[in-house]
Each structure stands twice: as C-alpha cells, then as structure tokens.
Amino acid sequence: MQSFTALVRPPGTHFPQAISDHPQKKGIDQSRALVQHQSYVDALKLAGGKILSLPPEDLLPDSTFVEDTAFVFGKTAFLCSAKEETRRNEVESVAQVLKDPLEIVNLEPYIDGGDILNTPQAIYIGLSKRSDERAIQSLSQKIDKEIVPVPVVKGLHLKSAVSYLGNNVLLINPERVESGAFKNFQWIEVEAKDSYAANCLALGNQIIMPAGFSTVREKMLQHGFETVEVEMSEFEKADGGVTCLSLIIP
C-alpha cells in the first residue's frame, strides 16, 4: 500500500450550478453528492491515503473538482489557470495549502489539471476546450520531462478518455482522443457505451472506478488490478470524473 496525501473538497451548496453539458445536469442532487463524496474519501483512505479536506466553497459551483487547480510533480505544485472565468477563484485556497510543503509555480493560461496525464515515460497534455498550446509551452519550460500534446476529439479533458493504471497499461477510449500518441502502451479499451468509466484513479495496484461498469471492471481484474467502485452519478451529471475529486500528492 503506497503512501500519499489526497487533497479533497466537498461540493458546496451551489454545486448543482456546476458547468456541464450533461443532459441530466438540472437533476443534480446536492445531498446525494455529499454522500457520494464521503464514499469517495473513504475509498481514498482504504487505499492508504492521508486526507487533507478543504472546506466547501459554496459560491464556487465546480470547486469540488480540485484536480483542475494544480499539477503536483516532485516537490513542485504547478498552479493551473482556468479558461472558465467562474473557476478562476478556486486556485487561491488550494495554493495556500500547497505552499507549505511544495514550491509554487504558476502556469500560463489556459490549462486544467484534468488534461494532464503523468506516466513514467512522459507527461501527456490534452489540447481540449480547457487547455491550449501556450500553457503546454509554459509547463515544458519549467519541467525536466518529455511533454506530449494530445488533441482531445470528444469530451471535456484528456483524462475523461485516458487513465494510466501502471505497468505500462492505459485505460482508454481511443475514439475520444488522437490515440496515436499512446501506441507504446498496452491498452484496455473502453467502448463508447462505457465511456464514463475511462476515467479512473490508480493508487498503486488499486483502481478507484465509477460503479456500474462491469465490463471495464472485469478487464482491469484480468490485468491483475484491484478495483474499488464508488457511486458517481451526481458528479457525472456535472461533467466530473473520479480523478477530478482529488489532488494526489505522493
């Protein structure tokens, strides 16, 4: 069991107003979201995580999606710069928490943490609705690791379609990204009907995944991974996935 800290923030009272293109976004249940968030935190604890919980930001609807605010690499926290104006005030409180153990570096606009996929070989960054070339250049000038831009064809972020599980294995829906960048990995392919399950959080050999995707779960089990399922219905309605709800600090 690996040691890590997970920064989380429960959804605030305005969470039902989160930015979303999901057809059921008007049906977000705040009370159910709080219960599901606590189950997610419990799964992080089960995986060996120390939980650092920030208070809810009631006036910032998307603030529970803390992954988008920063990218932690080594002893540095690279602060992201949101393209969505309503999300720009989320970063400050996260930076206040991170600045004690980590060096803080600001990235050029615009980039979301959900577009940054770190693997042993390289860092892949989605060219998406939320992240652009300027931000990728900004990071590449500040980090000593290969950075590979990947166009996102469909969906919000790169990590909406691709997750690195470990052992050179990717969980991927190749229809949603320019997948040629990932040809050196072994793929577990996710079909269109299961596309929400392409976003999973790997913590050592344990994978936290959304509940209700038995086909995807079985494929991961066959590759030797352990899975923990969490209910994510309210966050799915808000265009958020499993990794979105935490910022992992190794």
Termini Cα distance of the chain:
12
Secondary structure of residue 229 in the 3-state scheme: strand
Q: What is the C-alpha separation between 214 and 232, in angstroms, rounded?
A: 15
113 alpha-carbon distance from chain centroid:
7
From the list 83, 103, 170, the residue with the least C-alpha distance to 143 is: 103
Q: What is the C-alpha separation between 190 and 175, in angstroms, rounded?
A: 9
Q: What is the C-alpha separation between 182 and 172, in angstroms, rounded?
A: 9
Q: Which residues form the catalytic set?
A: 157, 244
Q: What is the pLDDT of residues 122-178, one digit of tens each?
A: 999 999 999 999 999 999 999 999 999 999 999 999 999 999 999 999 999 999 999
User: Given a cut of 80, is residue 227 above it in pLDDT?
Assistant: yes
Selected residue with higher pLDDT from 101 and 148: 148
Mean pLDDT for the chain? 97
> What integer is the mean pLDDT of 78-97?
96
Show the tokens assigned to 90: 């989320």
CB 103 within 8 Å of CB 142:
no
Show the tokens assigned to 143: 């980090």
CB 247 within 8 Å of CB 113:
yes
Q: What is the C-alpha separation between 123 and 107, in angstroms, rounded?
A: 15
| DSSP 8-state assignment for residue 152 | B
Q: Residue 3's pLDDT band (boundaries 50, 70, 90)?
A: confident
pLDDT score at 2: 66
- Tell me the residue ranges of DSSP E strands in 107-219: 116-118, 123-127, 147-151, 162-166, 169-172, 186-189, 201-203, 206-210
Percent of the chain with pLDDT over 90: 98
pLDDT score at 1: 57
CB 106 within 8 Å of CB 113:
no
- The CATH code of domain 4-249 reads 3.75.10.10
Query: Strands across the sheet with 4-8, in order?
Result: 49-53, 4-8, 247-249
User: Given a cut of 90, is residue 216 above it in pLDDT?
Assistant: yes
CB 46 within 8 Å of CB 233:
no
Q: What is the C-alpha separation between 64 and 8, in angstroms, rounded?
A: 7
pLDDT score at 25: 96
pLDDT score at 101: 87
Tokens 């590979």, residue located: 148
> What does DSSP say about strands 123-127 and 147-151: parallel, antiparallel, or unpaired?
parallel
Q: What is the C-alpha separation between 69 and 77, in angstroms, rounded?
A: 10
pLDDT score at 163: 98
The pTM (predicted TM-score) of the whole model is 0.96
